[in-house]
């Protein structure tokens, strides 16, 4: 029954050609088996143990692949001669081809088997995640197209494999994005262990691609900063060096297309790292969902939709923050990419943060307090997506927090009374505080049940009627709209259902236009009264989360597109030494960017369910 219901509520165009919509009886459930656990008394217990064993073995597979790849990448970094980038690309291409084979097999074989996808996890792969997979996937494809173009122009000094590898990458990204778009909600019920291994292999490949991108990205940063020093020293124009381009003779000819390819490559690079991380998290949820049977009461209640209604200050303040942020970012980029980055631009940059971060922290704290005041039930059902969200939020915040602590120690030990230093110090302290308060706010918000959907439905119905009042449409339209609202409503309390049915019956009895207008005015007045009286908490939560969404977006955009003052201010670099600080930034910065992105997702969910 639940399968039927689910496929009705969340129709997906590829479900139709499968018999998945048939009601899943117990006869259709493929309980897992594992040779280690043949002698269990109950089928359920055996199934659970087999699941654990499958997860263990597929996890071991991924661990081995990741370690092998990491050893390769480290060798490439520390011993260019023995292991070249080409060797690494060969390894990664083999992995990608293996993943591709599995994905295609899954698309054509596994998922089309009878009773393969009886359940779909409504929490997995929300639209914003799948949307960003598509978005970052397209950017990554574009990046590879640029790379192919760049290599094609410089074909005389580059090997042909530098065209082959990006081509494989494009196919991989495309297929993976397609796969995740359509199948991220699947709880696959057949070929459990093979699917787990396939998913884990894909996760490992993405992790390695991320690792390579991070190291390459930072190598590129390093080269750029060294180049700037050279430029400063000779006051001449040094040729721009490409990260994969070791030979100095192989420079870009002075054509526009080559410059476009080069610049595009540099600009699009950060998206590739984010793409890999997002794919990993989606694939991980799929892996956790393999063999999961969702019980009936887990069935998705209709999710409230994103609406801008009723929020004013949050968007306003947020937009102001974004606009100022963009200005600061522009000025920073112009100044910092110039020959000599001066103190002023750092002061401006850090001042912006010092104003913004306390606002965000205060917002998060107020939000948490409102959560505590609200009389809302907690959602304590098992939910792998949410657990992962929480882990990712905490884990990704670690990068930023670790970097901040390192900054703090460096500054306190150096000279905390200097203007710039004191700015950096307060920036670091505030950043830690902001990360923690925001995490508490989001985690707490994710565990609250959506605002009673019935109340929501009633509100929207009233809103519909309000719209009627202004436009005065025909009778039928009103009825259909209220019916539409009704289908979207979940049966939370029967009393309210009945009340609303009475309303409807009453609606249908209305004939006279004047009477209708009178009625509507009354209803809308009482609605406005009840709205302003009842849900100031709800409105405040929405304002706060909207504000935080916009702030996180700007804090995400700035480091993504190249503002790395932690590296460019030179303070920590001289304190810890170049390579150590480099390693710390290398670890912290990509995680920080991912944290901001993930926070946006979490905050949007808090906004919607508030």
| Binding residue count for a copy of itself, defined by CB under 8 A | 56
- Of 125, 96, 109, which is closest to residue 287 (Cα–Cα)? 125
Residues 6+ apart with CB under 8 A from 604: 128, 306, 545, 549
What distance in Å separates the CA atoms of residue 560 and residue 58, rounded to the nearest whole number? 33
Closest distance of CB 95 from a copy of itself, Å: 15
Q: Does 161 bind a copy of itself (CB under 8 A)?
A: no
**What residues between 570 and 599 interact with a copy of itself by CB under 8 A?**
575-577, 579-580, 584
Stretch of residues binding a copy of itself (CB under 8 A), selected from 43-51, 233-241, 473-481, 545-553: 43-51
Long-range contact set of residues 83-89: C-beta below 8 Å, sequence gap at least 24: 85/244, 86/159, 86/161, 88/212, 89/161, 89/165
Stretch of residues binding a copy of itself (CB under 8 A), selected from 99-107, 232-240, 367-375, 542-550: 367-375
Stretch of residues binding a copy of itself (CB under 8 A), selected from 32-40, 147-155, 187-195, 534-542: 32-40
Going from the C-alpha of 291 to that of each of 210, 282, 380, the distances in angstroms are 28, 16, 21
Cβ distance 270 to 217 under 8 Å? Answer: yes
**What residues between 503 and 562 interact with a copy of itself by CB under 8 A?**
none
Q: Does 82 bind a copy of itself (CB under 8 A)?
A: yes
**What residues between 208 and 237 interact with a copy of itself by CB under 8 A?**
none
- Of 362, 359, 282, 322, which is closest to residue 601 (Cα–Cα)? 282
Q: Does 563 bind a copy of itself (CB under 8 A)?
A: no
In the complex with a copy of itself, which residue's Cβ is closer, 13 or 39? 39
The strand pairing partners of 120, in sequence order, are: 186
Identify how many contiguous H helices and E strands the chain contains and give both numbers.
19, 2
**What residues between 430 and 449 interact with a copy of itself by CB under 8 A?**
432, 436, 440, 443-444, 447
In the complex with a copy of itself, which residue's Cβ is closer, 374 or 475? 374
Helical H segments across 184-251, by residue range: 192-234
Taking phi first (over 0 means left), then psi (-120 to 50 degrees means alpha), and beta for anything else, what does residue 382 get? beta
Contact residue for a copy of itself among 153, 409, 452, 608 (CB under 8 A): 409
Structure tokens at 500: 């609303």
Closest distance of CB 344 from a copy of itself, Å: 27
What distance in Å separates the CA atoms of residue 445 and residue 442, rounded to the nearest whole number? 5
Stretch of residues binding a copy of itself (CB under 8 A), selected from 61-69, 232-240, 264-272, 513-521: 61-69
Q: Does 417 bind a copy of itself (CB under 8 A)?
A: no
Contact residue for a copy of itself among 37, 128, 181, 587 (CB under 8 A): 37
Structure tokens at 117: 């996808």
Cβ distance 365 to 349 under 8 Å? Answer: no
Cβ distance 353 to 430 under 8 Å? Answer: yes
Stretch of residues binding a copy of itself (CB under 8 A), selected from 42-50, 253-261, 359-367, 468-476: 42-50
Structure tokens at 368: 């948490």
Contact residue for a copy of itself among 371, 458, 462, 596 (CB under 8 A): 371
Residues 6+ apart with CB under 8 A from 239: 248, 251, 252
Q: Does 455 bind a copy of itself (CB under 8 A)?
A: no
Structure tokens at 572: 């920590």
Q: Does 62 bind a copy of itself (CB under 8 A)?
A: no
Contact residue for a copy of itself among 380, 474, 487, 512 (CB under 8 A): 380
Contact residue for a copy of itself among 86, 402, 429, 497 (CB under 8 A): 402
Q: Does 333 bind a copy of itself (CB under 8 A)?
A: no
Residues that bind a copy of itself (CB under 8 A): 35-41, 45, 48-49, 56, 60, 63-64, 67-68, 70-72, 74-75, 78-79, 82-83, 368, 371-372, 374-378, 380, 398, 401-402, 405-406, 408-410, 413-414, 432, 436, 440, 443-444, 447, 575-577, 579-580, 584
């Amino acid at each position: 029954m639940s399968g039927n219901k689910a496929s009705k509520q969340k129709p997906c165009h590829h479900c139709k050609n499968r018999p998945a919509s048939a009601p899943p009886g117990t006869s259709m459930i493929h309980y897992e088996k594992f040779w280690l656990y043949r002698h269990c008394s109950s089928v359920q217990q055996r199934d659970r143990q087999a699941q654990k064993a499958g997860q263990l073995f597929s996890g071991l597979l991924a661990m081995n692949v990741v370690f092998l790849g990491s050893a390769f990448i480290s060798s490439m970094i520390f011993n260019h001669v023995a292991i070249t980038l080409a060797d690494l690309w060969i390894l990664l291409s083999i992995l990608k081809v293996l993943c591709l084979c599995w994905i295609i097999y899954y698309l054509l074989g596994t998922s089309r088997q009878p009773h393969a996808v009886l359940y779909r996890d409504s929490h997995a792969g929300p639209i914003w995640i799948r949307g960003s997979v598509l978005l970052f996937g397209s950017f990554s494809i574009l990046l590879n197209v640029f790379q192919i173009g760049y290599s094609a122009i410089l074909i005389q000094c580059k090997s042909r494999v530098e065209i082959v590898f990006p081509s494989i990458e494009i196919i991989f990204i495309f297929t993976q994005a397609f796969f995740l778009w359509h199948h991220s909600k699947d709880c696959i019920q057949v070929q459990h262990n093979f699917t787990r291994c396939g998913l884990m292999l894909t996760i490992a490949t993405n992790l390695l691609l991320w690792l390579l991108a991070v190291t390459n990205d930072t190598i590129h940063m390093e080269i750029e900063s060294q180049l700037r020093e050279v430029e400063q020293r000779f006051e001449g124009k040094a040729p721009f060096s490409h990260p994969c381009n070791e030979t100095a003779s192989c420079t870009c000819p002075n054509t526009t297309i080559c410059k476009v390819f080069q610049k595009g490559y540099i600009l699009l690079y950060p998206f590739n790292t984010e793409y890999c991380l997002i794919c990993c998290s989606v694939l991980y949820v799929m892996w956790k969902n393999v063999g999961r049977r969702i019980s009936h009461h887990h069935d998705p209640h209709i999710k409230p939709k994103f609406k801008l209604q009723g929020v004013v200050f949050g968007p306003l303040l947020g937009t102001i923050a974004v606009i100022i942020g963009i200005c600061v970012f522009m000025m920073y980029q112009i100044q910092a990419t110039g020959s000599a980055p001066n103190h002023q631009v750092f002061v401006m940059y850090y001042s912006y943060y010092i104003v913004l971060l306390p606002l965000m922290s205060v917002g998060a704290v107020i939000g948490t307090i409102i959560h505590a005041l609200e009389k809302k039930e907690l959602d304590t059902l098992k939910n792998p997506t949410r657990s992962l969200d929480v882990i990712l939020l905490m884990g990704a915040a670690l990068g930023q927090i670790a970097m901040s602590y390192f900054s703090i120690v460096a500054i306190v030990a150096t000279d905390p009374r200097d203007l710039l230093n004191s700015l950096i110090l307060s920036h670091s302290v505030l950043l830690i505080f902001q990360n923690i308060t925001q995490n508490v706010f989001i985690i707490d918000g994710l565990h609250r049940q959506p605002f009673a959907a019935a109340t929501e439905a009633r509100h929207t119905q009233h809103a519909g009627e309000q719209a009627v009042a202004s436009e005065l449409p025909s009778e039928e339209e009103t009825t259909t709209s209220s019916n539409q609202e009704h289908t979207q409503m979940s049966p939370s309390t029967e009393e309210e259902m009945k009340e609303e049915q009475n309303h409807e019956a009453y609606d249908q009895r209305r004939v006279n236009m004047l009477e209708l207008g009178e009625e509507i005015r009354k209803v809308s007045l009482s609605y406005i009264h009840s709205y302003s009286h009842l849900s100031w908490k709800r409105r405040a939560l929405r304002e706060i989360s909207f504000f935080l969404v916009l702030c996180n977006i700007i804090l995400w955009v700035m480091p993504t597109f190249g503002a790395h003052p932690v590296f460019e201010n030179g303070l920590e670099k001289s304190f810890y030494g170049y390579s150590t600080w480099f390693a710390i930034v290398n670890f912290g910065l990509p995680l920080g960017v991912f944290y901001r992105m993930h926070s946006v997702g979490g905050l949007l969910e808090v906004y919607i369910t508030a």
